[in-house]
Amino acid sequence: MANETEKKGNEEKSKGKGRLRSSLKVLIVLIILLLIIFLLGSAVFIAVRTGFAGRLLSNMAGDVADQETAKEPSYTYEIPEIVVNLSNGNSRRFLSVKFYVGFDETKLTEELERRMPEIRDAVLQLLWDTRAEDIDSPEEKEKLREKIKEVINGLVKSGEIKGVYFWHVMVQ
């Protein structure tokens, strides 16, 4: 009987130690979580207090706005179709191009209309030196787009062409 009492006592002690250990583990986990929350809260508080968070958010919003502005000009103007013979030696091939230019200044519309003969002539000169191989790939068409934009921007004074949008580019 004494053995049974000792066994019960030992079992109660081990149960008590087990409860104490699990309670201690829970307490340590809670303390660690509270410490992490405190540190994160402090970091956010300091970032807001020093203005770092505001500057970061405004920079991010500004970058997005700049990208949207760069992608979408406010106005477009149609450049009539231009057809030229390609410089391919003896072969008789031609290039037909129709495109729009994009810009943000309203007064540029009037200048584009007024200077259309000069613009067509400058684009024609650019295209006369083009070969069929020069516009085979998408990358080469992108280069042509940039060259056209540069040529037109060199002529206009009341604004800047932001983009060139091909309606069609056809080689025959």
Q: What pLDDT is recorded for position 110?
A: 94
**Residues 26-80: tens digit of each pLDDT:** 999 999 999 999 998 888 888 777 877 677 777 777 655 555 555 688 899 999 9
- Distance separating alpha carbons of residues 147 and 125, to the nearest angstrom: 11
Q: In what order do the strands lie in the sheet with 94-103?
A: 75-85, 94-103, 161-171
pLDDT of residue 63: 59
Q: With cut-offs at 50, 70 and 90, classify the pLDDT of residue 130.
A: confident
Q: How sure is the predictor about 148, in pLDDT bands with cuts at 50, 70 and 90?
A: very high
- What are the structural domain ranges in the chain? 2-69, 73-171
Q: Calculate the CA 100 to chain-centre distance.
A: 23
The C-alpha R_g of the chain, in whole angstroms, comes to 36
Could you confirm whether domain 73-171 is CATH 3.40.50.300?
Answer: no
pLDDT attached to residue 41: 87
Q: Quick one: pLDDT band at residue 10, thresholds 50, 70, 90?
A: low
pLDDT number for residue 80:
93
More confident residue, 31 or 19: 31
The residue among 170, 163, 77 whose CA lies nearest residue 127 is 170
Task: Look at residues 120, 128, 123 and name the one whose alpha carbon lies nearest to residue 94.
Answer: 128
Over residues 70-129, the pLDDT tens digits come to 568 889 999 999 999 887 767 788 889 999 999 999 999 999 999 999 999 999 999 988
- b/e burial code for range 87-109 (CB count within 10 A of at least 16 → b): eeeeeeeebebebebbbeeeebe
**What was the pLDDT predicted at 49?**
78
pTM for this model (two decimals): 0.58
